[in-house]
Amino acid sequence: MLRVEHPRLQSAIRQVEDSLDAAWDSFCADSGVRPETPEASQLAEVVLQDPSEFDWRVVDAALDRMICPECGAKLGAGVTGCPSCDQANGFRFGARETDRPDVPPGNEHAIRVSSAVARTRHRYSPRARAGYELLLPDLLDGALPTTAQAQHAKHLVNQLTDDELERLITPADLDRKST
Ligand SMILES: [Zn+2]
């Protein structure tokens, strides 16, 4: 089975997307705007003009609510090489991130990066996306690998073919596959 089809990754992505929708709904409520209205679209544009003022979940949700004028995908989610999407995808990372209670510092940043990769996986090579996608469910559970663990995982990833990489489901599979 391919990782992209596996419930472990699918439910992690759904969990992130539900949290983006919830963040957007409460942001709209705080702003006195009803979601899914023209006013909400204007609010999304305001958010994207200065992502550093907003939480990353609000920024990612705003991107989801904009259509790329050049390629027609959700803004930032088109193919690599679409100038508008490449630019929007870069903006994404200017947003604020606040760790949830009782997680290691940096967990929220890791979730942000990993979920951005997993949600726009066609923008990344199998090698570039494997580590992020393998980790995302654990990150959502509050884990955070040490730098040494991350480097070890990267080392293992670099030894596998694209096909092998796409069939990894958990971080443990990575160790098994490489021994
Ligand atoms: Zn585009």
For residue 170, what are the CA distances in angstroms to 16, 66, 115, 118, 137? 18, 33, 15, 14, 9
The token pair at 175 is 């160790």
Kindly give the distance from the C-alpha atom of residue 178 to the centroid of ligand 1, in angstroms, as a whole number.
37
Closest CA to 43 of 67, 20, 35, 73: 35
The token pair at 29 is 């409520």
Per the structure, the complete domain to which residue 53 belongs is given by 3-177
Kindly give the distance from the C-alpha atom of residue 76 to the centroid of ligand 1, in angstroms, as a whole number.
6
Asked if residue 158 lies in contact with residue 127, where contact means CB atoms within 8 angstroms, the answer is yes
E strands within the chain? none
Kindly give the distance from the C-alpha atom of residue 1 to the centroid of ligand 1, in angstroms, as a whole number.
30
Domain count, the chain: 1
Cα–Cα distance, 42 to 66 (Å, whole number): 10
DSSP-derived letter for residue 100 is: P
Kindly give the distance from the C-alpha atom of residue 88 to the centroid of ligand 1, in angstroms, as a whole number.
9
Using only C-alpha atoms, the chain has a radius of gyration, in whole angstroms, of 17
Q: What is the pLDDT along the chain (179 residues), one digit of tens a residue?
A: 999 999 999 999 999 999 999 999 999 999 999 999 999 999 999 999 999 999 999 999 999 999 999 999 999 999 999 999 999 998 888 899 999 999 999 999 999 999 999 999 999 999 999 999 999 999 999 999 999 999 999 999 999 999 999 999 999 999 888 66
Kindly give the distance from the C-alpha atom of residue 143 to the centroid of ligand 1, in angstroms, as a whole number.
33
The token pair at 93 is 């990372």
Kindly give the distance from the C-alpha atom of residue 167 to the centroid of ligand 1, in angstroms, as a whole number.
29
Query: What is the structure's pLDDT at 179?
Result: 60
Kindly give the distance from the C-alpha atom of residue 62 to the centroid of ligand 1, in angstroms, as a whole number.
15
Kindly give the distance from the C-alpha atom of residue 35 to the centroid of ligand 1, in angstroms, as a whole number.
23
